[in-house]
Each structure stands twice: as C-alpha cells, then as structure tokens.
C-alpha cells in the first residue's frame, strides 16, 4: 500500500535531505590529502547534530548473529572498495584517491539518505592542464586527433600507414625504444609521410613508480636515440599504460614534452582476444565527439581491418582528422 504524504510530511522529508546536503558540503571542504576517514566521520556527525539531526547509520543493527552494530555516522569507501567502508583513524586520504561517502540523517522522524563521490586533491584535468598535457580538444570544433600506441610490431603498421595515406589522414604514433630499434624502416616511413612520432619511453614502465632520474632516462634515452637515427625531435609523450602523477608530468614537461592522454580508447590491445569487427566499429563510431583524442593500438588486427571504414564514416559525420600540431584546446 502506498501512503500519500501530507504537505507537512513532505516538508519534513525535504528538511532531512537538506541536512544531508549540508553535511556533504561541509565534508567537501575537508576532503584533502592527509585527513583520516575517522576525522571525516566526526565532522559529519557534528554537522548533523548541530542541525538538530541524528546520524541514523550509527548503531545500525544488521540483525545478523556475530555482526556488530555499525560504529560510525558515515560509510566511506576508497578507490576500488565497493560500499559500506568503516571510518578509521588508520585510513588517510592521499592525492588522487576517489572517495565514496554514504550517510543518513534522521530528523523529525524522517531519513535523508544520499551518497556522493569526491576526488582527493587536484583532478586529472587540473593536473594535466597545469603541465600543458592534452586529453581532449575543445567541444566546438568537430576535430578528431588519431593516435596509435606502438610497443612492438605485430605486422599491421604497414597496412595502417597505407590506409592513412589513402585517406589523407595524419596520425601520431607513440613508440618505445624496442620499436625504434627493431622497426627503423617503419619509423622512417611515419616521418616521411608526415605523421608525428611520439615518445612512449624506453622500457614501457609505470612512470609514477620511477625516480626523477629514472624518468629522465626513460624519456631522454629514447629522445636521443631518435634524434641520432633520424635527426627528429620528439615533443609529445604518452605515459605507458596511461599512468602518471603530478610529479611525472612536471618532470616530462621540464624536458620539453607535452603529455598526450586520450578521450576514447577501448580493449583492442590483446592480440589473442581481438574484438569483433562490427562491434568495434559500433563502439568507435558511437563514441566520436568534438575534440576527441582517439587511442588505437597498432598491434590490433581488428583496428587494421576496419580503419579505412572508420575514417570514412567519421568524415561522413562531418568531422575532420587533425594532427596534434593543430590541436585546439
């Protein structure tokens, strides 16, 4: 049976929800690197009580033998934790953490219940922009920036280059030292045909795990080798696996590099588990957007076979393929 609430009851419900909104506004001011989840819990409870409400989650009894009552005013889950994390003085927030908080405020017989997710510290967008990184172009111009990651050669890059030439499209190829050393002819062809060759580091290691000196070596050893072979100055870098930190961005920026991330990618890199061609086409075309930096992997048989169709379809949708040198933020 559905009970119709009176205007007075609806106002009381709205007030309970307003309390929760105020709690989240207050928590947002304090969610910074270094604070513990227990401190956040204390802030939430104090805010509720100051507004004449009670933390409904505190003392909640699940009714399961051996499971204690919930000890806190909020549930707080960090990163890959799903739900109902318990606040603790031992859980300290770090830069880049993603924190999900769920809480319930009881006031005048009604519960206000909501959950919010927060990023700790600066957002990826802010960190990238501070260090002149690229992830997506402006949302006005119908431009697409096509990029390929090339860790090793699987036998498809010649066909990819032929397709790009046939369709008059310039792309950016991010290569490793292994690729440069084993495929110098293909790298030369990329340069000769007007494509950009970017830095994907020497050994494809996770850059946040490296020291500043190691980052320098991973980037500049490849940079120097590329210049020695082709008198080509690299200026764009894609961090291996897309992993970076404010420190790594600052280091690569100081070396004269712009970091290039992406606004579209999909699971195309596993040679033994290639996506279905029609499904891949649909995924790529359904996600085309203004300013898109598209990441494809050069070791993908599927990408190689559908590339020509994809380029034609995207052009038919009114988009232009642009070089990163023409990037508009």
Instruction: List the catalytic residue out of 195, 204, 223, 297.
Output: 297
Neighbouring residues of 168: CB distance < 8 A, sequence distance ≥ 6: none
Residue 297 falls in the annotated catalytic set: yes
Structural contact between residues 132 and 308, judged by C-beta atoms closer than 8 angstroms? no
Beta-sheet pairing, 143-150 with 110-119: unpaired
Q: Would the CA dihedral through 32, 35, 38, 43 be positive or negative? A: negative
Phi-psi map region of 68: left, alpha, beta (phi>0 left; psi -120 to 50 alpha): beta
Instruction: List the catalytic residue out of 41, 149, 223, 268.
Output: 149
Alpha helices in the chain (DSSP H): 7-30, 37-50, 124-130, 157-166, 177-182, 184-192, 212-230, 246-254, 277-286, 301-316
Backbone angles phi, psi at 243, to 5 degrees: -95, 125
Give the span between the Cα atoms of 308 and 165, in whole angstroms: 10
Cβ count within 10 A of residue 92: 15
Residue 149 falls in the annotated catalytic set: yes
| Helix or strand holding residue 106 (H, E) | strand 98-107
CB burial class (10 A; 0-12, 13-18, 19+) of residue 7?
Answer: exposed
Residues with a known catalytic role: 149, 297
């Amino acid at each position: 049976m559905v009970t119709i609430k009176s205007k007075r009851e609806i106002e009381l419900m709205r007030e309970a929800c307003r309390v929760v909104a105020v709690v989240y506004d207050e928590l947002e001011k304090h969610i910074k690197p270094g604070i513990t989840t227990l401190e956040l819990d204390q802030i939430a409870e104090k805010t509720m009580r100051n507004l004449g409400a009670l933390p409904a989650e505190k003392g909640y009894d699940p009714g399961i033998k051996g499971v204690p009552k919930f000890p806190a005013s909020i549930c707080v889950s960090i990163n890959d934790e799903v739900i109902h994390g318990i606040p603790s003085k031992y859980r300290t927030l770090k830069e880049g953490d993603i924190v999900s908080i769920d809480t319930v405020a009881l006031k005048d017989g009604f519960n206000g219940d909501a959950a919010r997710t927060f990023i700790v510290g600066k957002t990826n967008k802010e960190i990238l922009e501070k260090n002149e990184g690229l992830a997506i172009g402006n949302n006005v111009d119908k431009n697409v920036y096509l990029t390929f990651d090339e860790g090793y050669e699987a036998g498809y890059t010649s066909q990819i280059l032929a397709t790009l030439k046939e369709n008059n499209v310039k792309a950016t190829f991010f290569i490793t030292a292994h690729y440069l050393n084993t495929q110098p002819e293909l790298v030369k062809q990329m340069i000769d045909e007007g494509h950009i060759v970017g830095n994907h580091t020497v050994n494809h290691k996770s850059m946040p795990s490296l020291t500043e000196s190691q980052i320098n070596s991973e980037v500049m050893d490849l940079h120097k080798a590329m210049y020695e072979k082709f008198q080509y100055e690299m200026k764009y870098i894609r961090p291996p696996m897309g992993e970076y930190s404010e420190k790594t961005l600052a280091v690569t920026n100081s070396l004269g590099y712009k970091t290039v991330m992406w606004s579209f990618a999909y699971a195309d890199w596993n040679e033994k588990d290639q996506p279905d061609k029609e499904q891949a086409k649909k995924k790529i075309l359904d996600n085309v957007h203004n300013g898109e930096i598209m990441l494809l992997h050069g070791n993908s048989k599927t990408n190689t076979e559908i590339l020509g169709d994809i380029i034609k379809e995207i052009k038919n949708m009114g988009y232009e393929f642009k070089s990163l040198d023409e990037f508009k933020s």
